[in-house]
Structure 1
Amino acid sequence: MDAAYDVIIIGGGPIGIACALNAQRAGLSYLVLEKGCLTNSLYNYPLYMTFFSTSERLEVGNIPFVCINPKPNRPEALEYYRRVTTSNHLNVRLFEEVKEIKSNGKEYTIHTQDGLYHARHVIIATGFYDIPNMLNIPGEQLPKVTHYYKDPHFYATRRVLVVGANNSAVDAALETYRRGADVTMVIREESIGKRVKYWVKPDIENRIKEGSIKAYFHSSLAEVREKEAVINTPEGLVTIPNDFVIAMTGYQPNFSFLEKTGIALSDDAKKYPAYNPITMETNMPRIYLAGVVCGGMDTHVWFIENSREHADKIIQHIKTRV
């Protein structure tokens, strides 16, 4: 396309949608490019996931999120963000992955698998859900191992090992247990994570205490085999029969994409991207970051609730330049 947009937004999640709403209301020409379906990360959440936050804290663009229950679940969130997108006729192109961003000094060329786009400003709101943190152990590539958990019914009556101790791991353990799975948890720390949802934490702790769900604390998964798993415990290696491994080890942003774009990352393990917290502009002129991608490996810093304001900051700054 020959005409340059005022802004191209990479990522069609809640924060990308918030940026699009603000750009539309500011009278800017814009386009959202999303490599998957709308709110792709939320779509890939577990089927029965309930948000920690209330619905009003997940709203974007001051558009009410009406929910019967105190806290919305995944289907309700998908419906809300879809209706926000369609009823406001946001300019979104789905299943179009951005491969590269190049500058000619005056504007940026955005390369996707379907073509080229030009923009004076770029907002990267790509989240961190696409690249799992790997265990780097033998057998991790076996088909029985997954870093994404979707539906507990799949694991009914099977011997399931869950790696992790935070919300995703606890939800997977409890839901598969209640579908008849024989569940074992492998936890690095001495206890269930402190960030686990307050209405779920007593449930998992009681199931472990009564022995319904087995748990190895201060332990790590050492190896996965076709019909068993090896756990490194304080007492030594323990081998247990196993059919499936659900490794809830967390995720990370696409750092290689950020670096290829020219965005500087911190030298430490956190890999914080460089940006101005007042304007959200990175070290690359007219390229901005929005949402959880701002946190680098610190993925528990930014959420929908506290990063919605990024859209306001960015569009206000772009308006001063257009």
Structure 2
Amino acid sequence: MGSALSVSEGTAGLMVTVPSLVAAVSAPLVPVLVGRMNRRLLLLGLMGLMTLANAASALAPSFAVLVSSRVLVGVAIGGFWAVASSLAVRLVTTANVPRATAIIFGGVGAANVFGVPIGTLLGGFSGLRIAFAALSALALVALLALLAVLPPLAASQPVRPRLLAEQFRNPGVRVGILATFLIVTGHFSAYTFVSPALQKLSGTDERLVGPLLFAFGLAGMAGNFVAGAALARNPHRTVLAITVTLAAAMPLYLLLGRTPAGGAALLIACALAAALAVRSARTNENLR
């Protein structure tokens, strides 16, 4: 991307950093700003914004315009997940919430498996603009699907800053937020170095890293659905057991991951545990 835009690799990285930071800020702000807006209309509007923002990225005449369009992508991502993550509570009965949430977040695992390689393939063969255009087209498909199947979702009450602040008085919410933050931060900090760890610590052939990352994504998808079944039986015990497993998997890699087979097994175990832990934390927050 840097060579295509005539900027350094570090500068090109702003296309990832900027929307990520904007999404983090937008997640709590969008529900506050929209007040009582019907959540169906909100989701349609956010997906429409995603469609237009990616189209703007594909047509951007300069890097400055491209980064500006990525800001809009960040708004759409943050706002969408702030609302979409709680849809299961509104669409199904309480008993089916864990399974329904597993299906919703199964899309994250699918994106890890298919999104990055497909995007890389499109960018490599057709160029950066075609990849962004494809994202715009996919967002449009999602918009049309939402329009066809999502029922009206009236807001019971507007989200006020005071109401958000009051949530922190709930010990369960505080623990859920802290646990999610620590687990996701730890997971992605480790995942950043998964390729050199597999090659240098486990002695894995470089040609096998790609297939192992594909298996990592598949394991994450499976973890989402396993979590749904486990949470339906005992959510708090499930969260505790999975978090302990994930915490133990990292140091165990130094002891048991010294061979290609050991490294691959622990990589899959980490993927399962991370998916289970994140899904568990999110589901518990929704149930509260």
Q: TM-score range by the shorter chain?
A: under 0.3
Using CA pairs under 8 Å that are at least 6 residues apart, name the structure with larger relative contact order, 1 or 2: 2
TM-score by length of 2: 0.26
Compute the TM-score of the two structures, normalised by the length of structure 1.
0.24
Higher alpha-carbon Rg: 1
In terms of fraction of residues, the more helix-rich structure is 2
More strand by share: 1
